[in-house]
Structure 1
């Protein structure tokens, strides 16, 4: 049963880490989880936490649907400030894994799958999409509005227009889709049926849907890092708030959903913590590493 922590004054249930033992890895989603409602976090406060985590030999991992090049801008220089190990990244909802600046794993959609998906997506009037690749994201001319391109650039700063999404030399990781008028569920079902499981839809909130390679999730990205570092998922603590966090929250030794998380994330988690508007991740980590 999920234990709620509805107030930032109350202690969060820490499960296997309740007795003073520390997780060897802490992973967190960003939007709606680590970042507040303004898309920010308290850098000085986090630097103290990160320093304490380093003393406990605990690694910090950012796990997000966003582009690696966007995610790393939030943390430039903070490892040096905290005298901590480099932050690792499970980006693109698990399709790109980066450790110490090196890509150690990535998905790779075949050209056939890209063509089949694009044929389906380009015929829909309720969605606009970008193809996310290792080197950047791409939007096809004539298929999307300038407004969509500008929205995507917030999460995928390395983004450009292209004449043909299906003939890129870059390695394709996933499709990122923005739906209109609450059609994300209908689109997800249509894609699943039409592509016969070649791509798996993952809903990440606010009308956003990612089409992922089967078996590619934030949880598999964490598993890749655990194997690299000689850890197990049972030694990990994770925070999340939406559908794209469900697998990660369920896979780790202890998963914490934000109080304001989507219901499926709360169901997958072991506990809840204060919402992102109250810096719930930082507060929980302070309880764990600084109290």
Structure 2
């Protein structure tokens, strides 16, 4: 028997190749073997649930998802937990952005991701891919009614570290701020991360972190990799 009962994988840079694909035939075979042994397969990603569901369109009913960096938990299509941001904090971040024109921002809710229509084209197109359920809106100052799971900020790769430092200095006491890679920063409710989300999911199955093996590659995977009994960081290519 395997020395673990749950497997958690990040997607971009870990489970997916550079073309955002994976061997679907091999995965189907392995998933069957995991199900036979009672091993849970968990997709732990900063991506929108709808993006992850499409990535596993043939098998999502049999999987668990720690989506939006732990802010949205789904177990075999059943929504387990939503950890939403305070709207006043969102307004503060939107105001903060005005002093940083190099910072591009979108708000990710349960119903959809909301992207200002006048944001930089590359940022908008990237958000459309990672958030298939999205709406273009006039401004983040007038958000639709939704439960907001995170704010996603985009920037040039070389601006990631200084902007991360600025956001941490301003909001580090009230938000969990993490980089999922150079050019991307996510802001969630304080205390939310993949490890916390995985812990909550494992408890549903009467398991603990000693039953978990995890794979990741980015800053938003650090807690998950150190929390699991076996944590493996992907080599950067």
- Asked if TM exceeds 0.5, the reply is yes
Query: Could you tell me whether the CA contact under 8 Å between 2:177 and 2:188 is conserved in 1?
Result: yes
Q: Please tell me whether residue 224 in structure 1 is matched to residue 200 in structure 2.
A: yes
Shift of 1:25: 0.4
Q: What do you get for the CA RMSD once the two structures are aligned?
A: 1.6
Partner SS, residue 165 of structure 2: helix
Partner SS, residue 202 of structure 2: helix
Shift of 1:196: 4.9
Match of 2:19? 38
Aligned equivalent of 2:55, options 71, 74, 77: 74
Aligned equivalent of 1:99, options 61, 65, 75: 75
Structure 1 residue runs of 4 or more that deviate by more than 4 Å after TM superposition: none
Query: Could you tell me whether the CA contact under 8 Å between 2:160 and 2:182 is conserved in 1?
Result: no
* Structure 1: segments with no counterpart, 5+ residues: 1-19, 80-84, 262-291
Equivalences for 1:268-287 in 2 at 5 Å? none
Match of 2:231? 255
Q: Could you tell me how far apart the structure 1 residues matched to 2:55 and 2:235 are?
A: 23
Match of 2:131? 156
Q: Please tell me whether residue 205 in structure 1 is matched to residue 181 in structure 2.
A: yes
Query: Could you tell me whether the CA contact under 8 Å between 2:71 and 2:197 is conserved in 1?
Result: yes
Partner SS, residue 57 of structure 1: coil
* Structure 2: segments with no counterpart, 5+ residues: none
Query: Could you tell me whether the CA contact under 8 Å between 1:138 and 1:162 is conserved in 2?
Result: yes
Query: Could you tell me whether the CA contact under 8 Å between 1:184 and 1:208 is conserved in 2?
Result: yes
Query: Could you tell me whether the CA contact under 8 Å between 1:116 and 1:195 is conserved in 2?
Result: no
Shift of 1:225: 0.6
Partner SS, residue 95 of structure 2: helix
Shift of 1:252: 0.8
Q: Could you tell me how far apart the structure 1 residues matched to 2:150 and 2:18 are?
A: 27
Q: Could you tell me how far apart the structure 2 residues matched to 1:259 and 1:180 are?
A: 22
Question: Aligned pair count?
Answer: 236
Match of 1:289? none
Larger Rg: 1
Query: Could you tell me whether the CA contact under 8 Å between 1:22 and 1:56 is conserved in 2?
Result: no
Partner SS, residue 84 of structure 2: coil
Q: Could you tell me how far apart the structure 2 residues matched to 1:192 and 1:213 are?
A: 13
